[in-house]
């Protein structure tokens, strides 16, 4: 299929109904934390974020709104608060196009906001007068920059005129072809604008107002150019002055797309979905001062790395020429370097931690321990035997920790239990309700889910292969353990009549609710054909229009729009693609098509949505799910699922 411009192909329209504005995200630089996203849709503006800390809350440092006011109004004496609507909005890699129609003055604006290919934000506002002769659009337009923390100083750099705003330990540089500017200590700038005055605040500044004078007859055009940077005045000035930037952005992205693994796609929709995943992955780039080029878990929310996201990180890093498999090594080194004395390995590392992983290390929370088979895939990609030798004894200690803390103190089943649903990364799926929050007045201390049975078996299989690779001579011992785990999983967790792998509760009952937990043995290829055949009817229940349900409709605890209690995730889709490729080839295309619809439903790649309607889902506390999630359950998992569909099995340990 002809690719032409993949950048153009990925164009996505959006509207004011965007569930979270951070779904539309423009970075200042490919490898920085600084990014911008649309402000409230009642204004033509952008919010700017450059924090290091992880948080679900939107935390902008500043907002910039173009032509928020104009002077004079129809009376010729007062300032007017402008009103407008968006006629169209489009999102492309590193660029947003919007068309704004002002309703109280004769003005239309074609906006381009994007990342300068060499760093910094460029903001172009092409204005066109809709005033009819003999009237002239003769106004002062006032654009407002709100600072969410007090600015201690505003410097007008000479001779460039670029403004430098001092915000504690941060700087914000704004270059613009404005005529005048004023600073204000509080939100009382509107009172001063009523008199047509721009003043200079004494002390700390909270608002910066830029004045642009326009005088245009019918059909005439004029342009406001801004360049904005958290890094330097030179980047802001270059972004403000340089022309032809949209074409440079396009060429840069198309050149990168051409370097990625090529696929003979069945449809244009598949192609769009695949390269959209890569777009989102690239949006999560970061250059850490100590660790070098990395890919964050999810820039707007999780600034760091999660253990359960390691498989998807390996999938996209090993194929990505800008990152490469060396990133996987650095990440595995990082997790295992700070291993606790008892063998525990943290499940998440945040950028702002003094000791990597210390936050979760205090809580003893684990998540699906993928490390051995990710390490094995890395080895097959690089032949780096030295790293395997360093990691192997650490992984042995981690294995012992999991066996002691998740089995030997409980039922000694040769399986692994969980102490909370959060141990699995599947968070609040229905069959884990009892161990996390309690269910029907019943609360338990632990349970044995299928996901950890499958993961233990896979851990042991991978350790055997690692032992072989480094000449350790322990492969038969590891394989014996894997066989024991598989036998225990099939004996204890498989329910013949229901045809599904269940969760063994602390009271000895087997919870057979059909959901994502029971998909893991199938995805990992741990079941025989007879068992897979019996599970097929339940597998079919999980297939939705927009992805794969995490809990099948009709099962106890199913909730269509609440987190892991029913909505589809990229993770559930990738597991289903893997399972179908192993056992249900007749269903493989249906699973893939539902994933593609999931990916193309909204701008960006989202955590989860209703598998029936595509409506964005919510967490248990009511928080809307998150966009731009890269390596854990978003673009990385989805891209891996598409690769698997097209013949590259990313769940294979062979790499």
Helices (H), 158-293: 189-193, 233-241, 245-259, 268-283
In order of their start, the domains of the chain are: 26-250 (2.70.98.40)
State residue 301's pLDDT score: 86
Q: Could you give the CA distance from residue 276 to residue 7 in angstroms, rounded to a whole number? A: 9
Segment 206-221 mean pLDDT: 92
Digit-coded pLDDT (tens) for 618-642: 998 898 988 876 656 789 999 999 9
Check residue 3 and give its pLDDT. 60
Q: Mean pLDDT throughout 582-600?
A: 98
Band of pLDDT at residue 417, cut at 50, 70 and 90: very high
Q: At what angle do helices 371-382 and 310-319 cross, to 10 degrees?
A: 10
As a whole number of angstroms, the distance between CA 639 and CA 314 comes to 12
Q: What confidence score (pLDDT) does residue 631 get?
A: 55
Q: Is 127's pLDDT higher than 80?
A: yes
* Average pLDDT estimate for 99-119: 97
Report how far residue 56's alpha carbon sits from residue 298's, in angstroms, rounded to the nearest whole number: 10
Helix extents (H) in 15-100: none
The pLDDT value recorded for residue 202 is 67
Which residues lie closer than 8 Å to 371 by C-beta, 6 or more apart? 307, 310, 332, 335, 336, 345, 391, 395, 398
Which range, of 30-44, 176-190, 451-465, averages the lowest pLDDT?
176-190
Work out the pLDDT band at 598, boundaries 50, 70, 90: very high
Q: Indicate the pTM of the whole model.
A: 0.95
List pLDDT tens digits, range 325-383: 999 999 999 999 999 999 999 989 998 888 888 888 887 889 899 999 999 999 999 99
Would the pLDDT of 2 be above 60?
no
Structure tokens at 339: 């291993």
Band of pLDDT at residue 187, cut at 50, 70 and 90: low
User: Using one digit for the tens of pLDDT, what is the confidence trace for 132-167?
Assistant: 988 999 999 999 999 887 777 888 877 778 999 988
**Main-chain dihedrals φ then ψ at residue 101, nearest 5 degrees:** -115, 110
> What is the reported pLDDT for 364?
83
406 has pLDDT over 70: yes
Give residue-wise pLDDT tens across range 468-522: 999 999 999 999 999 999 999 999 999 999 999 999 999 999 999 999 999 999 9
C-alpha to C-alpha distance for 464 and 462, rounded to whole angstroms: 5
**pLDDT the model gives residue 184:** 84
pLDDT tier for residue 290 given thresholds of 50, 70 and 90: confident
pLDDT reported for residue 136? 92
Share above pLDDT 70 across residues of the chain, in percent, rounded to a whole number = 98
Is the pLDDT score of 64 beyond 60?
A: yes
């Amino acid at each position: 299929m002809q690719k032409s411009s993949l950048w153009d192909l990925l164009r996505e329209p959006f509207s004011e109904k965007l569930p979270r504005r951070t779904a539309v995200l423009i970075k200042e630089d490919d490898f920085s934390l600084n990014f911008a996203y649309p402000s409230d849709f009642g204004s033509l503006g952008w919010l700017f974020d450059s924090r290091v800390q992880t948080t679900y809350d939107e935390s902008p440092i500043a907002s910039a709104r173009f032509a928020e006011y104009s002077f004079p109004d129809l009376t010729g004496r007062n300032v007017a608060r402008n009103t407008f609507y968006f006629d169209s909005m489009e999102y492309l890699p590193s660029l947003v196009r919007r068309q704004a129609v002002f309703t109280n003055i004769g003005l239309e604006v074609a906006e381009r906001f994007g990342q300068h290919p060499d760093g910094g934000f460029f903001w172009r506002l092409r204005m066109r007068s809709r005033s009819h002769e003999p009237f002239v659009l003769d106004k002062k337009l006032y654009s407002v920059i709100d600072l969410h923390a007090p600015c201690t100083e505003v410097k007008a750099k000479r001779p460039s005129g670029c403004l430098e705003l001092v915000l504690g330990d941060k700087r914000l540089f704004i270059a613009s072809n404005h005529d005048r500017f004023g600073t204000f200590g509080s939100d009382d700038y509107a009172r001063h604008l009523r008199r047509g005055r721009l003043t200079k605040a004494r002390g700390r500044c909270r608002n910066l107002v830029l004045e642009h004078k326009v005088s245009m007859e019918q059909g005439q055009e004029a342009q406001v150019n801004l360049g904005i940077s958290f890094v330097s005045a030179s980047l802001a000035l270059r972004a403000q002055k340089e022309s032809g930037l949209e074409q440079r952005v396009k060429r840069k992205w198309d050149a990168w797309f051409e370097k990625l693994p090529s696929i003979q796609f069945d449809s244009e929709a598949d192609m769009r979905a695949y390269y959209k995943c890569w777009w989102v992955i690239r949006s999560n780039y970061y250059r850490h001062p100590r660790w070098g080029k990395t890919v964050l878990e999810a820039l707007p929310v999780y600034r760091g790395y999660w253990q359960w996201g390691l498989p998807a990180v390996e999938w996209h890093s090993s194929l990505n020429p800008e990152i490469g498999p060396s990133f996987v090594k650095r990440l595995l080194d990082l997790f295992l370097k700070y291993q606790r004395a008892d063998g525990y390995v943290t499940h998440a590392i945040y950028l702002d931690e003094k000791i990597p992983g210390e936050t979760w290390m205090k809580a003893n929370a684990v998540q699906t321990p993928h490390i051995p088979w990710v390490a094995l895939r890395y080895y097959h990609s690089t032949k780096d035997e030295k790293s395997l030798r360093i990691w192997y004894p650490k992984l042995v200690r981690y294995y012992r920790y999991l066996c002691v803390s998740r089995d030997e103190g409980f039922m000694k089943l040769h399986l692994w239990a969980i102490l909370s649903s959060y141990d699995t990364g599947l968070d609040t799926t229905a069959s884990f309700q009892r161990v996390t929050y309690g269910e029907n007045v019943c609360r338990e201390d632990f349970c044995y889910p299928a996901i950890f049975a499958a993961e233990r078996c896979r851990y042991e299989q991978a350790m055997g292969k690692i032992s072989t690779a480094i000449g350790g001579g322990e492969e038969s011992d590891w394989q014996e353990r894997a066989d024991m785990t598989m036998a225990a999983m099939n004996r204890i967790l498989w329910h013949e009549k229901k045809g599904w792998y269940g969760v063994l509760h602390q009271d000895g009952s087997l919870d057979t609710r059909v959901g994502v937990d029971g998909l893991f043995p199938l995805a990992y290829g741990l079941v025989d054909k007879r068992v897979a055949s019996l599970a097929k009817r339940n597998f079919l229940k999980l297939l939705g229009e927009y992805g794969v349900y995490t809990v099948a409709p009709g099962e106890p605890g199913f909730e269509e729009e609440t987190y892991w209690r029913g909505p589809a995730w990229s993770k559930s889709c990738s597991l289903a693609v893997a399972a179908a490729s192993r056992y249900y080839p007749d269903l493989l295309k249906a699973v893939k098509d539902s994933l593609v619809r999931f990916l193309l439903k909204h701008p960006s790649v989202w955590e989860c949505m209703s598998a029936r309607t595509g409506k964005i889902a919510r967490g248990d506390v009511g928080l809307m799910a998150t966009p731009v999630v890269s390596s854990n359950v978003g673009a990385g998992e989805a891209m891996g699922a598409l690769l698997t569909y097209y013949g590259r099995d990313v769940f294979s340990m062979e790499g």
